[in-house]
Amino acid sequence: MLGMITRRAFLHAGAIPLLRLGLPQFLQARESNAKRSFGRAKSCIVLFMWGGPAHQDTWDPKPDAPDNYRGEFKPIATKVPGIRICEHLPQLAARADKLAIIRSMTHDDVDHTSATHYLLTGHGRPNRSAPRSQDWPNYGAIMSYLRRGRGPLPPYISMMPIYDKDPAPRFVESSHGQDAGWLGPLHHPMRIDADPSQPTYRVGAFDAQPGLSLTRHKERQELHHALDARRRALDEEAEASAMGAHYARAFSLLASREAAAAFDLSREPRKLRERYGLNIHGQSVLQARRLIEAGVPLVTVFWPNDGITNVSVYWDTHNRNFIDLKTRLCPVTDQAFSALLDDLEARGMLDETLVLWTGEMGRTPRVGQSVVGGAGAGRDGRDHWSHCFVSVLAGGGVRGGIVYGASDRYAAYPALHPTRPMDLAATMYYLLGVDPHMTIEDRLRRPLILCDGEPIQAIIA
């Protein structure tokens, strides 16, 4: 039976020349569009700019706003007429025809730890003090739950280099929405904290020990199975069951040359590694591409702590906003993101790989404006601001060369098509071939709707 056609669905029909179509033709076009788009993406790379990128100093410049709002940077033209972005993203400007820039993202949470949960799950966190085991599952955990992926590699891998010498990573470590939450530890990600830009880069948890022959490896596996058989009575607990599954996966990884090769960046030509950038983030993005090529359905690359002192932490530019964006943040993301797009396209993978670039929020409209108690902003900084920010999608069934939504004159609030994180989540699930409104069960077997948002049809090819 034909459902109700909402005004939103009608407006989101995108490039369909609505004024020329009657209702039957519109419905036929919409059905055809759904058949083409649903599930085109086989994998996804999430580039998460932890800290909250200043949207008006990157993807949504406001050259006509007053000086203390528009900031120091100038907009530049992109490959797509009419779309302009920050002057410090020139390589991405040259590839704007591949990008869908959402300039109307919005929510009401200015806390890093819980806002991260919102962007990585599509659900807000009403109880911010609850343990992470009560989080909604991350997108990658849902891919694991749905048994996506191929080969011995885990279906969900999270890259987040951590530096013990700097206390700042504790904030990222405590950010919610990174794991499987109430789906249980079986669906937690494989975490890679090592720096892939270093010659000593190894994924140690799954490295075979020197001198460990395949025969000894097999003997160890048999011993593990024997011991496991004696403690099966204890495996009623989720942690125990998950540990058994992780052991099995670890043995599978150790025995798989294909899995080991996926972590060997030395197999890539030096020129390509340089193209991504010989830094933590650039090589992490390259590692992500190798992982999805090896069958991993979802990889999240968090912006790392680069170990530089006396600067803003990550994209959290309470001070030195323009200095750090110009010297540390924009150039690195411009190089790595553009290299990923080129590399995926050259390998024929872009159409089936969804890429999301986002942070958990944006920054205040006015430079030096303080709105968060205890944080605030210096004279050259911007404070937390969640009422309006930008997320960018590419590949995997996304219509490139478009801007969706708009902010007001000051980049303070959405002026057109306010877009909630749950709508972004629904769009991602839709492109990955997952019904965003499907029912899943938690550990207590309670049925829950995966996502309350609606796919943004206007950005779907």
Looking at residue 155, what is its pLDDT?
A: 95
For residue 222, being part of any structural domain is answered with: yes
- What is the Rg, in whole angstroms, of the alpha carbon atoms belonging to the chain? 22
More confident position, 310 or 120 = 120
Q: Is the pLDDT of residue 226 over 60?
A: no
Q: Same domain for 120 and 209?
A: no
Residues 75-80: what's their mean pLDDT? 98
- CATH no. for residue 62? 3.40.720.10
More confident position, 228 or 327 = 327
Taking the C-alpha atoms of residue 381 and residue 60, their distance in angstroms, rounded to an integer, is 17
Q: Is the pLDDT of residue 5 over 50?
A: no
Q: Same domain for 196 and 210?
A: no
- Answer yes or no: are the C-beta atoms of 388 and 104 closer than 8 Å: yes
Q: Same domain for 62 and 79?
A: yes
Looking at residue 292, what is its pLDDT?
A: 97
For residue 27, being part of any structural domain is answered with: no
For residue 270, being part of any structural domain is answered with: no
Taking the C-alpha atoms of residue 58 and residue 455, their distance in angstroms, rounded to an integer, is 25
Q: What average pLDDT does the chain have?
A: 84
| 179 C-beta neighbours (distance < 10 Å), count | 22
Looking at residue 152, what is its pLDDT?
A: 84
Q: Is the pLDDT of residue 255 over 70?
A: no
Taking the C-alpha atoms of residue 345 and residue 343, their distance in angstroms, rounded to an integer, is 5
What percent of the chain is predicted at pLDDT more than 90?
67
Q: Same domain for 285 and 232?
A: no
Q: Same domain for 244 and 282?
A: no
What percent of the chain is predicted at pLDDT more than 70?
76
How many residues appear in the chain?
Answer: 461
Rounded to the nearest 10 degrees, how much is the dihedral formed by the CA atoms of 361, 184, 201, 281?
A: -10
Looking at residue 302, what is its pLDDT?
A: 95
Q: Same domain for 137 and 238?
A: no
Looking at residue 375, what is its pLDDT?
A: 79
Phi and psi at 449, nearest 5°, equal -75, 130
Q: Same domain for 290 and 253?
A: no
Helix/strand/coil percentages in the chain, nearest 5: 40, 15, 45
pLDDT band of 170, cuts 50, 70, 90: low
360: which residues sit within 8 A by CB, 6+ positions away? 48, 50, 51, 52, 112, 115, 116, 118, 119, 175, 386
Taking the C-alpha atoms of residue 191 and residue 206, their distance in angstroms, rounded to an integer, is 11
Taking the C-alpha atoms of residue 457 and residue 299, their distance in angstroms, rounded to an integer, is 24
For residue 9, being part of any structural domain is answered with: no
Number of structural domains in the chain? 2
Query: What tokens does 165 get?
Result: 């010498």
Domain of residue 305 covers 40-201+278-459
SS3 label, residue 457: helix
Query: What tokens does 101 get?
Result: 């820039």
For residue 15, being part of any structural domain is answered with: no
Q: Same domain for 160 and 188?
A: yes
Highest mean pLDDT pick, 184-188, 312-316, 435-439:
435-439
Q: Give the helix ranges, DSSP H, for 347-454.
A: 421-431
Residues 79-102: what's their mean pLDDT? 98
Q: Same domain for 316 and 219?
A: no
Q: Same domain for 158 and 301?
A: yes
- Answer yes or no: are the C-beta atoms of 387 and 106 closer than 8 Å: yes
Q: Same domain for 215 and 190?
A: no
pLDDT band of 252, cuts 50, 70, 90: low
